[in-house]
Amino acid sequence: MDWVKPTQAFIEKWWAYVDWCLKAEIHAPVCQPFWSWAIGALLCIVILAVVWGAARFISYRIKLAAALRTEEARARIADEDTMRAHTWDGDKAYQTDVPTEEVERMIKAALVARANQGKPPPIV
Protein backbone atom coordinates (compact mmCIF):
# COMPACT_ATOMS: atom_id res chain seq x y z
CA MET A 1 0.00 0.00 0.00
CA ASP A 2 3.01 2.25 -0.44
CA TRP A 3 1.66 3.46 -3.76
CA VAL A 4 -1.47 5.07 -2.27
CA LYS A 5 0.22 8.14 -0.75
CA PRO A 6 2.21 9.12 -3.86
CA THR A 7 -0.88 8.58 -6.04
CA GLN A 8 -3.00 10.67 -3.71
CA ALA A 9 -0.37 13.44 -3.70
CA PHE A 10 -0.24 13.38 -7.52
CA ILE A 11 -4.04 13.62 -7.80
CA GLU A 12 -4.15 16.44 -5.25
CA LYS A 13 -1.53 18.43 -7.23
CA TRP A 14 -3.51 18.02 -10.47
CA TRP A 15 -6.77 18.88 -8.69
CA ALA A 16 -5.21 22.09 -7.33
CA TYR A 17 -3.93 22.97 -10.82
CA VAL A 18 -7.36 22.38 -12.42
CA ASP A 19 -9.14 24.26 -9.64
CA TRP A 20 -6.76 27.24 -9.97
CA CYS A 21 -7.14 27.30 -13.79
CA LEU A 22 -10.94 27.21 -13.53
CA LYS A 23 -10.90 30.20 -11.18
CA ALA A 24 -8.09 32.15 -12.86
CA GLU A 25 -8.20 34.22 -16.02
CA ILE A 26 -8.58 32.12 -19.17
CA HIS A 27 -5.56 33.75 -20.86
CA ALA A 28 -3.13 32.86 -18.06
CA PRO A 29 -0.02 31.33 -19.69
CA VAL A 30 0.24 28.64 -17.02
CA CYS A 31 -3.30 27.38 -17.82
CA GLN A 32 -2.88 27.27 -21.60
CA PRO A 33 -2.14 23.48 -21.70
CA PHE A 34 -5.16 22.79 -19.47
CA TRP A 35 -7.52 24.77 -21.68
CA SER A 36 -6.04 23.25 -24.85
CA TRP A 37 -6.70 19.74 -23.54
CA ALA A 38 -10.16 20.66 -22.24
CA ILE A 39 -11.23 22.23 -25.54
CA GLY A 40 -9.70 19.31 -27.50
CA ALA A 41 -11.54 16.74 -25.39
CA LEU A 42 -14.80 18.64 -25.70
CA LEU A 43 -14.34 18.92 -29.46
CA CYS A 44 -13.66 15.16 -29.72
CA ILE A 45 -16.80 14.39 -27.72
CA VAL A 46 -18.89 16.66 -29.95
CA ILE A 47 -17.43 15.13 -33.13
CA LEU A 48 -18.12 11.62 -31.85
CA ALA A 49 -21.69 12.57 -30.96
CA VAL A 50 -22.26 14.08 -34.42
CA VAL A 51 -20.79 11.01 -36.17
CA TRP A 52 -22.89 8.67 -34.01
CA GLY A 53 -26.04 10.69 -34.71
CA ALA A 54 -25.32 10.80 -38.45
CA ALA A 55 -24.71 7.04 -38.50
CA ARG A 56 -28.00 6.40 -36.70
CA PHE A 57 -29.84 8.76 -39.04
CA ILE A 58 -28.39 7.10 -42.15
CA SER A 59 -29.16 3.66 -40.73
CA TYR A 60 -32.78 4.63 -40.08
CA ARG A 61 -33.12 6.13 -43.56
CA ILE A 62 -31.77 2.93 -45.16
CA LYS A 63 -34.20 0.82 -43.12
CA LEU A 64 -37.07 3.17 -44.01
CA ALA A 65 -36.26 2.93 -47.73
CA ALA A 66 -36.18 -0.87 -47.51
CA ALA A 67 -39.50 -0.92 -45.65
CA LEU A 68 -41.11 1.37 -48.22
CA ARG A 69 -39.84 -0.82 -51.09
CA THR A 70 -41.21 -3.92 -49.34
CA GLU A 71 -44.57 -2.26 -48.72
CA GLU A 72 -44.75 -1.18 -52.35
CA ALA A 73 -43.95 -4.71 -53.51
CA ARG A 74 -46.66 -6.13 -51.25
CA ALA A 75 -49.19 -3.61 -52.53
CA ARG A 76 -48.50 -4.43 -56.17
CA ILE A 77 -51.34 -6.52 -57.66
CA ALA A 78 -50.86 -8.91 -60.56
CA ASP A 79 -53.04 -9.01 -63.65
CA GLU A 80 -56.13 -11.21 -63.78
CA ASP A 81 -54.54 -14.12 -65.67
CA THR A 82 -51.67 -14.37 -63.19
CA MET A 83 -54.04 -14.23 -60.25
CA ARG A 84 -56.20 -16.98 -61.78
CA ALA A 85 -53.10 -19.12 -62.37
CA HIS A 86 -52.13 -18.86 -58.68
CA THR A 87 -55.50 -19.44 -57.04
CA TRP A 88 -56.37 -22.67 -55.26
CA ASP A 89 -58.35 -25.07 -57.37
CA GLY A 90 -57.48 -28.25 -55.51
CA ASP A 91 -61.10 -28.98 -54.72
CA LYS A 92 -61.71 -29.58 -58.42
CA ALA A 93 -58.98 -32.23 -58.56
CA TYR A 94 -61.17 -34.87 -56.94
CA GLN A 95 -64.23 -34.32 -59.11
CA THR A 96 -64.22 -36.92 -61.85
CA ASP A 97 -66.56 -38.89 -64.05
CA VAL A 98 -64.50 -42.06 -63.60
CA PRO A 99 -66.22 -44.71 -61.49
CA THR A 100 -64.89 -45.38 -58.00
CA GLU A 101 -63.75 -48.92 -58.90
CA GLU A 102 -61.61 -47.57 -61.73
CA VAL A 103 -60.00 -44.98 -59.41
CA GLU A 104 -59.23 -47.72 -56.87
CA ARG A 105 -57.68 -49.88 -59.59
CA MET A 106 -55.51 -46.96 -60.78
CA ILE A 107 -54.33 -46.24 -57.21
CA LYS A 108 -53.44 -49.90 -56.63
CA ALA A 109 -51.56 -50.03 -59.94
CA ALA A 110 -49.60 -46.89 -58.98
CA LEU A 111 -48.74 -48.39 -55.57
CA VAL A 112 -47.53 -51.63 -57.17
CA ALA A 113 -45.46 -49.64 -59.68
CA ARG A 114 -43.91 -47.64 -56.85
CA ALA A 115 -43.15 -50.80 -54.87
CA ASN A 116 -41.51 -52.43 -57.93
CA GLN A 117 -39.55 -49.29 -58.79
CA GLY A 118 -35.84 -50.06 -59.12
CA LYS A 119 -36.32 -53.86 -59.19
CA PRO A 120 -35.55 -55.84 -62.34
CA PRO A 121 -38.55 -57.21 -64.22
CA PRO A 122 -39.47 -60.86 -63.57
CA ILE A 123 -38.02 -63.48 -65.92
CA VAL A 124 -40.74 -65.21 -67.91
In angstroms, the CA 44 to CA 52 distance is 12
Query: What is the length of the chain?
Result: 124
Could you tell me if residue 69 is inside a domain? yes
Could you tell me if residue 124 is inside a domain? no
- Angle at which helices 32-75 and 4-23 pack, to 10 degrees? 90
pLDDT tens digit at each of 124 positions of the chain: 788 989 999 999 999 998 899 898 888 899 999 999 999 999 999 999 999 999 999 999 999 999 999 999 888 887 888 888 888 777 666 667 778 888 899 889 988 888 888 777 777 6
In angstroms, the CA 60 to CA 67 distance is 10
Q: Identify which of 38, 57, 39 has the alpha carbon closest to the alpha carbon of residue 49.
A: 57
Could you tell me if residue 123 is inside a domain? no
98-124 confidence digits (pLDDT tens):
788 888 998 899 888 888 887 777 776
Our count of domains for the chain comes to 1
Could you tell me if residue 90 is inside a domain? no
Q: Which domain holds residue 62?
A: 1-74
